[in-house]
Amino acid sequence: MLSQARTIFRKLRGSNSRSSRGKEPAPSAPATTVESGIVDPSPRAIHVSDAKRSPTKLPRKPYSDAQSITMIVVDTKGATDYWKLYRLLLREKKYGYEFDPTDEPETDYFCGNYIYNVCFIPPSTSSAYYCLMQHICLVFTYDASSRDSWDEVVAVYERIRNRYKDGVLPFLTIMIAAIDEGEASVSHAEAEAFATQRDYLFIKFSPTTGRGICDAVGLVVELAYGARDQYTMDKKGYAQR
């Protein structure tokens, strides 16, 4: 499933792909003219805060057609958990009320006329409920200054992988997220190689400013856009994974 979503995504993105390490995106390439007409580049994901600041109104489908993405955040050895990751996203975008205790850990992105509601949850949710979720991203956060934190990422990942005997994980993608602060006991090259070899995403983010999180979630939204028609539905309307 993951490799299929990746294939769709790469075809859509073409030469406009962004680095998985959170670098600034390259300028969009102009549309390419072919015999059948104009081929538009893949749309970029835009956070709701940027959409509201835009002088032009973005074309969008009604909220009844909204897509959903669930970010299951596994924090290892005291790394950033799902709630703090969401709060850091708000801090990076200077959006919303970062310390509102009544807030729900979810936010919106826009991509290709679609609204994507992105929610952050802990890993305690039973895998039996995965079929009720539209797009799922598994996020491993770890402290790059702690070898124990990284070793736990690898161990938990292997336990999850071994749970699915056919080797097909029920996730749109998996993201390895490094807390990028202080001296690193685990080199980013090592963690990035781990992610790249498995065709996953690797990002670095600041635990102080949240820098890097918004673009990283945007990459997941763009993957979801590329895989939006991937899943068939059963008679009850649940996605078949």
**Domains detected in the chain:** 2-14+44-226 (3.40.50.300)
C-alpha 48/C-alpha 46 separation (Å) is 6
The model's pTM: 0.74
Mean local confidence (pLDDT), 110-131: 81
Q: Which of 20-34, 68-82, 143-157, 219-233 shows the lowest mean pLDDT across its residues? A: 20-34
Q: Tell me, what's the pLDDT at 124?
A: 75
User: How confident is the model over 15-72, as pLDDT tens digits?
Assistant: 344 444 344 433 333 333 334 344 446 789 999 999 877 766 666 665 556 789 999 9
Tell whether the torsion through CA atoms of 148, 154, 160 and 163 is positive or negative: negative
Q: Does position 163 have pLDDT exceeding 50, yes or no?
A: yes
* Whether 61 contacts 161, CB under 8 Å: no
Mean local confidence (pLDDT), 195-224: 95
Q: What is the 3-state secondary structure (H, E, C) of the chain?
A: CHHHHHHHHHHHHHHHCCCCCCCCCCCCCCCEEECCEEECCCCCCEEHHHHHHCCCCCCCCCHHHCEEEEEEEEECCCCCCHHHHHHHHHHHHCCCCCCCCCCCCEEEEEECCEEEEEEEECCCCCHHHHHHCCEEEEEEEEECCCHHHHHHHHHHHHHHHHHCCCCCCCCCEEEEEEECCCCCCCCHHHHHHHHHHCCCEEEEECCCCCCCHHHHHHHHHHHHHHCCCCCCECCCCCECC
Tell whether the torsion through CA atoms of 3, 134, 138 and 207 is positive or negative: positive
* Whether 12 contacts 42, CB under 8 Å: yes
The mean pLDDT value of the chain amounts to 77
C-alpha 155/C-alpha 174 separation (Å) is 15
C-alpha 73/C-alpha 56 separation (Å) is 34
Higher pLDDT, 174 or 9: 174
* Whether 192 contacts 153, CB under 8 Å: no
Q: What angle do CA 226, 115, 178 make, to 5 degrees?
A: 65
Q: Tell me, what's the pLDDT at 149?
A: 93
